[in-house]
A and B are shown apart, each in its own frame.
Chain A
């Protein structure tokens, strides 16, 4: 996984001065490149990258920044995808990984999904139904022959 697009200097600053995992989590989420990471890679890819770094015997600041960026990127995924990846890949064995994952799970889903199905294209002319015999233009109702479900 290519993590070169991450703004290493800024992320390293945040990493260095974070007193709490919650602060690091919030600040990392403000970085556009971290969100972009979540669009570029699947949840399982992000977690695999984090775990791969976690398994290194010697980790420098860049490693830790990349690892935490992957975990925070994971929190932009839907909860289902996020949970599934964790269940399959496990939590990386580094200090703030459990905290970041917990923070992510407290967030609302990043987007809600609604499915609209249009059953068919209109096949007949709109029906114009008058309410009474002495009506004005504002009294008319137009009914389009769409069949739609939510």
Chain B
């Protein structure tokens, strides 16, 4: 496939992680249109000052240090298992935990990192990357990926 590259990436257990960098670009007009529509639709979501890029996606931000994109749910499940993530409930959730937004069949549609806990958990602030657009700081519920009770929190927890 033209314009794609992948890195040698492994879990803590040395299992390979399938990943892809993409080099697709958005035009200034497209960027302006997205910025305007997201500003109106997602109240409280703040775009971080970084140019849109498709080099990494949300899972690349959360699990691969913004170096590449990871698209397959099975790869994320592998990382969660090998890197010793454990499920954390809402009451226990804190800044630094990973948030996953799940699809109807358990697909991992989106991920991010909790950066600020709120007394009302769904108002807690998350840093995440929205597809091939840019990074956002946003309340958990203020994004396209949120649906009622489709979120999970995970924390690395080596024993």
Contact = CB atoms under 8 A, between A and B. Distances in A.
Interface of A: 9, 12-23, 26, 60-61, 64, 93-95, 99
B132 interface: yes
A16 to B, nearest CB: 5
Contacts of A95: 1, 4, 20, 22, 24
Interface residues of B, number: 35
A12 B30 contact: yes
A17 B38 CA distance: 10
A114 to B, nearest CB: 29
Nearest to A99: B71
Interface of A (DSSP majority class): helix
Given A19-B110, A61-B27, 18 more contacts: A15-B131, A17-B130, A17-B131, A19-B69, A19-B111, A20-B71, A22-B73, A22-B107, A23-B103, A23-B107, A23-B110, A26-B104, A60-B27, A64-B24, A94-B1, A95-B22, A95-B24, A99-B71
Nearest to A24: B131
Interface in B84-108: 103-104, 107-108
Nearest to B107: A22
Interface string B53-89: 0000111000000000101110000000000000000
Contacts of B153: none
Given A13-B34, A60-B27, A19 B109 contact: yes
A9 B71 contact: no
Contacts of B9: none
Interface of B: 1-2, 4, 20, 22, 24, 26-27, 30, 33-34, 37-38, 52, 57-59, 69, 71-73, 103-104, 107-111, 129-133, 144-145
A15 to B, nearest CB: 8
B107 A12 contact: no
A137 B41 CA distance: 65
Contacts of B58: 19
Top 8 nearest A-B pairs by Cβ distance? A17-B131, A17-B130, A19-B57, A19-B58, A16-B133, A23-B109, A20-B71, A18-B131
A12 B33 contact: yes
B73 A9 contact: no
Q: Which of the listed residues B27, B104, B130, B131 has the most CB atoms from chain A within 10 Å of its own CB?
A: B131
Contacts of A22: 73, 103, 107, 109
